[in-house]
Structure 1
């Protein structure tokens, strides 16, 4: 029995973390066995890499070093968690995966896209999601959301959130471009209320997964 691999993508503050919980609960109500995970950091090794990647004090982290750290974390994530769960026939839902690297390090940082594709392929051993949901929202709105969450938790914003608006606009454009090229990618209007967004998600799940 083979599992089903879903990834969630979008700019900072697009609501992925809220929707991933709702999706898990919904699919479990339909008797699917579901594993939620995320990048970077959902393995012991990944936690160490995450601390480096998101530390706002690391302003001098080179884009190529950033890329290599993300793909190293992904290699561990795929081998340790994602592939074993899929082999057990589970639905795996990951908050970020290969498209995030293309969007953030490729489009926004300007790193060679062919290089990113090659590194992603090495890290994942060719594992491509069955379905990718891109939560699309204008970054000028989503970054306000992200900052409110950070403020409520009394935590310091991470290094990626701190990038300027132009950077996040490039990320958004990347996801929209990728959706034009990849049949597995579906766009969700994330500017709506939580319930309205989830209604869109359920329609897509019924279309792609639920038979």
Structure 2
């Protein structure tokens, strides 16, 4: 087991999931139970195929459990003419689900890093955001996870992550405040210690 695998919680490791994961048939039956509990008939025509559709949707919504963000960052490039300044991606779509209610979290992420000697393809940063977002999450945890993996896998000098998102567990239920946006930030390395650099990141976010 390599260092990255060692840092993956045991319950999320592929070998553990393979042992404990219910079958597709069991998952579909669970959906039928929820439909009946909600007060409808899972056997009526309009709902007959709903369990299959829901399970298929879950495969897409939670595909991040099947992916390794460290592998996405493993291929880097050194031939960048000595470039050592900020690399930043703005407005990366975030589509996640709150782990407390399984309600959607929708928003954007802004991610920057300071390369030490290598850079990574920009699509890989967006892919890392996607992997962590396609899991049952809290926004705070997701923000920290994105920063931590980029910092470690790339040996970056610094990483900054800001996520701005709306939570449907707050907009469509509970307090019903549809216009509230949640902003979380994580700064690591030089972004944490350098006020000017951190301010530059925030100004670029405001312009995005």
TM-score by shorter chain over 0.5: no
Structure with the higher fraction of residues in strand conformation: 2
Q: TM-score range by the shorter chain?
A: under 0.3
| Larger CA Rg, structure 1 vs 2 | 2
Task: Give the TM-score of the pair, scaled to structure 2.
Answer: 0.27
Task: Give the TM-score of the pair, scaled to structure 1.
Answer: 0.27
